[in-house]
Every structure is written in structure tokens, then in C-alpha cells.
Amino acid sequence: MNKLGISLAGAALSGVVALSSATPALAGPAGADRTAPKASTVSANPQATAAVSRAQKLKRLNQLTEKYGMPLWENTRVKWQDGHDKYRFDWSTDGCSGVTDNPGGFHFWESCARHDFGYRNYKKMHEFSRAHKKRVDDSFHYDMQSVCKRQWGPYSQAQRKGCLKVAKKYYDAVRALGHL
């Protein structure tokens, strides 16, 4: 996002988080990785870096940004961290772009990182269309909703409802402020 977009998104979401009646979530698992990856994107294995066609890379990007693609994205990210990424994707992320990755204790970092992944890679391939933006944004919303359902399970309807409300506000912000 550009600086104006980040500032607007930050301001909009800061108010949402501050006004949210949701109670803080339980801490994530001990030792959970909350930082952006630092590994090289070039594999030491020469066969793993064999040329990939543009069509193959776009197909893989589509798979990694599908609504139900978070497990595949997570597995592929781990492989990248280990130095294996024959597609040479851009894995950089700033988390939730100027707003908290953990609003009200809800753990949205991975959702935001996958959203960044989709935007950055479609843009680098000059394939960032309205349809791809909507697809990535919708996957982002689905990912956050999944966090809310997993994190709270059947234990607290109020906490889950608060989490889903914050997820919707984050989604609305990227729909309105995300750039083509």
C-alpha cells in the first residue's frame, strides 16, 4: 500500500480495534513464529531452481491464493524458508500494513502475510486485476474468519463474534483501500 493508504487503513482500523468490545485472546502457541521470514528464496538444489514458465508460476500463484489455500501456502512458505522456491515468489510482508497483527488478541499475522503475498506477486507478474484483487481479499477474509473459529472454537460465542466483527472491518478496509 502507499503511505496514504496505510495511514487511512491504520486510522480506520485503529478506531475499530479501540472500540471493539472483544476481550483479548489467549496467547498463541509457545514459540509461534510471528516474524517475517528471512531465508533466501534461492534453493541450493540446482534442479529445484529449474526454469518455470510464466503460465506455471501464475497457476501456482492462483493455487496459493485460493480461498481454501492457506494450508498449501503455509507448506510452501516453510519450503521457501528452507531455501526451496523454484517459482521465486516475493515472500516479503509487513504484516497488517500499519495496524496491529493481533487486534483484540486475534492472531491475524498469517492472514495478512498471505494477503501481502497475493498482492505483491500478482503485481510483479503484471496480473493484478480487479478479479485477482477480489479473490485475494476474499481469501484474506476467509482466513481471518478461520482464525476466529479455530481460536475460540465452541468456548465463547461473544469472543468469536467480536473476532468476526474485527475480521470484517479489516476486510472492508482492504476492499476500500487496496490498490489496483
Burial class (CB in 10 A: 0-12, 13-18, 19+), 22: buried
Q: Can you spell out the DSSP letters for 3-62?
A: HHHHHHHHHHHHHHHHH--PPPPPP--TT---S---S-SS-S-GGGG----HHHHHHHHH
pLDDT at 99: 82
User: Considering the domain 3-9+47-177 in this protein, what is its CATH number?
Assistant: 1.20.90.10
Q: Domain spans of the chain? A: 3-9+47-177
* Region for 30 from its dihedrals, namely left if φ exceeds 0, alpha if ψ lies in -120 to 50, beta otherwise: beta
- Asked about 115 being catalytic, the answer comes back as yes
pLDDT at 105: 81
pLDDT at 26: 30
pLDDT at 62: 96
Q: Is the pTM of this model over 0.85?
A: no
pLDDT per residue, tens digit, the chain (180 aa), is 444 344 434 444 444 444 333 333 333 333 334 344 444 434 444 444 468 999 999 999 999 999 999 999 999 999 999 999 999 999 999 988 878 777 888 889 999 999 999 999 999 999 999 999 999 999 999 999 999 988 766 668 888 888 999 999 999 999 998 876
pLDDT at 155: 61
Catalytic residue among 107, 115, 132, 141: 115
